[in-house]
Amino acid sequence: MSNGFRVLPRVPGDPALVELFRDLPVANISDSLHRMSGALGLQPRHRGGYLLGTALTVKVRPGDNLMIHRALQLGQPGDVLVVDGGGVVERALIGEIMKRVAQARGFAGYVIDGAIRDAQAFADDDFPCYSRGITHRGPYKDGPGEINVPVSIGGAVVHPGDIVAGDRDGVVFIPPADAREVAAATRKKGSDEVATMASIADGTYDDAWVQEFLASKGLR
């Protein structure tokens, strides 16, 4: 195992914990994580559909996808390939072929802190993919790279085995140890929002807190 080329042991996910987040709004999950655990600057490239799975992390040299190919060989159904490409968008790290390979092998989706290409193939498909950019330029395939290591994705630290959830608002990462608490808080927030929407509809919506808060700041 030479410096820069490392594949660490797999960190298995818990399907029961993953399922706690099925179809929960990412914005509400983010709120329940105190707005501190989501990737910033990544955009959904797929037509539609919810991303949910377990993080299989990959750290690559910007513009090089050798170890992403290796991760595609090592992953298991339900994995999300979470790739730290350093946020560099001058060369694409994946394209349509690697999308099809991931789909055929049962991956749940891609999160790429870098660029993709063959954007139309992603836009015409429901296979989840988030990336920082798009470019026609292809990647190098020389390495180095590391698999199953902590990575940085849009300002968020992601550990192998973290739960990954994504919708049109973006992507968040949930540590398995916090999953039950975060899921419960997210569902409560959803219930509270349903009640708020109902109060707006029936004319009983109360936003007196705004004036009260401003008064506490000295505004008269």
Annotated binding site for substrate: 95-98, 117
Omega prior to 150 cis, within 30 of 0:
no
CB burial class (10 A; 0-12, 13-18, 19+) of residue 207?
Answer: exposed
CB burial class (10 A; 0-12, 13-18, 19+) of residue 1?
Answer: exposed
- Report how far Cα 98 is from the mean position of its chain's Cα atoms: 18
52: part of which helix (H) or strand (E)?
strand 51-60
Positions at the binding site for Mg(2+): 118
CA distances from 204 to 80, 130, 154, 198, 207 (A): 43, 39, 40, 8, 10
Positions at the binding site: 95-98, 117-118
Residue type, 140: Y
Distance (Å, whole) CA 89 – CA 36: 24
Q: What is the DSSP string of 7-50?
A: EPPP----HHHHHTTTT--HHHHHHHTTT-SB-SS-EE-SSS--
